[in-house]
Amino acid sequence: MRILAAGDEFVRTGLLADAVAAELATAPEISRLDLPWPVEPFGPVGGVHEASGTEEQVIEALHGAEVAVTQMAPFTEKVFAAAPGLKLVSVCRGGPVNVDLKAATAAGVAVTYAPGRNAAAAAEFAVGMILAALRRIPGSSAELLRDGTWRGDLYAYDNAGVELENTTVGLVGYGAIGARVARVLVAFGARVLVSDPYADPGQVRADGAEPAGLDDLLRRSTAVSLHARLTEETQGLIDADRLALLPHGAVLVNTARGGLLDYAPLPEALRSGRLGALALDVYDVEPPPADWALRDAPNVIATPHLAGCSRQTAERAARIVAAEVGRYSRGEAQAHLANPDVLER
């Protein structure tokens, strides 16, 4: 079996190749393609989103491969047309946004993905952001190290941070990441509310949280953390009207998708104190532009889309795609098939 391993600077090509080789009974013929993400940002390529590299690079590297494993390589209609022997593309991401699923299905190519690969990393990061925002950790550290300012006034009652214990935290979205966050927060002693129309209320309660409507959650939560997928339904979900529902001084955290937030009202919400702090790992434009309105807003924590980034995530992603290649080689059903209609072909 000829296999293309198209890795990058995070999920390295060697990780993919070694994981695939360990999964198969006989040594495969593996061609390799190294892509520049994240040193170079991803972007749209040939009609697919969030891809790294070019269609021409992928076509050349395939060399008649039957299977491809990747994180970021673009698999477009043009690529599928140039690779008639391709039967499986296994993508080690939570969704195969770098693959044209319609074109893959038309070409008879199964596409798999890796749900939950970064759930532990993203959940830990989200909890860290909540703590950092509630306890003013990044801002006070920066002032002390950069300016030599000892903020003794932060010990005053009106400026003091808030503990997680007995604090109400609202989670918007309850997939693999949101559920992990809930369990960690419950262990801290927080009261956790969950808004997700697709979540099982019984499971939410079993995890120690309380199901709630979105508006009710916003009214009751001292901190809100977003964990929903970005869809037409959730685009701009937290807008000016919903921000106004939050208790004065509440904390808002977004480590999910930038499009969940309407960014326009955020600077004024921070300056007025409506928002006590805003912690972001994702943005409507990545990276934010030089004139980004939140650069000089108070109490903002901003990180460069790192929530899902851990060495274990990269290793786990490689194992997940390799397992799909193993299933394919043994004639078994794929565990995480993104285009089930391909089975009819």
Strands 168-172, 191-195: pairing is parallel
Distance between CA atoms of 215 and 187, rounded to whole angstroms?
25
Q: Which of 257, 274, 316, 319 is catalytic?
A: 257
Distance between CA atoms of 217 and 126, rounded to whole angstroms?
18
Using a 10 angstrom Cβ sphere, with 0-12 exposed, 13-18 middle and 19 or more buried, the burial of residue 54 is middle
Note the helical H segments in the chain. 13-23, 55-62, 77-82, 101-106, 119-134, 137-142, 176-188, 201-206, 214-220, 240-243, 266-272, 311-329
Verify whether residue 40 is a known catalytic residue. Answer: no
Q: Per the structure block, which two tokens stand in for 95?
A: 């969704």
Residue 151 and residue 342 in contact, taking contact as beta carbons nearer than 8 Å: no
Verify whether residue 63 is a known catalytic residue. Answer: no
Find the length of the chain: 345
Residue 31 and residue 61 in contact, taking contact as beta carbons nearer than 8 Å: yes
- Quick one: angle between helices 13-23 and 311-329, nearest 10? 40
Residues with Cβ within 8 Å of residue 195, at least 6 apart in sequence = 170, 171, 172, 173, 211, 212, 213, 214, 216, 217
- The partner residues of 173 in beta bridges, in order of sequence, read none
Q: Which of 210, 305, 315, 327 is catalytic?
A: 305
In the block, residue with structure tokens 């650069």: 295
Verify whether residue 49 is a known catalytic residue. Answer: no
Using a 10 angstrom Cβ sphere, with 0-12 exposed, 13-18 middle and 19 or more buried, the burial of residue 227 is buried
Cis peptide before 38 (omega within 30 of 0): yes
Q: Which of 286, 330, 332, 345 is catalytic?
A: 286
Residue 99 and residue 89 in contact, taking contact as beta carbons nearer than 8 Å: yes
- The partner residues of 283 in beta bridges, in order of sequence, read none
Active site residues: 257, 286, 305
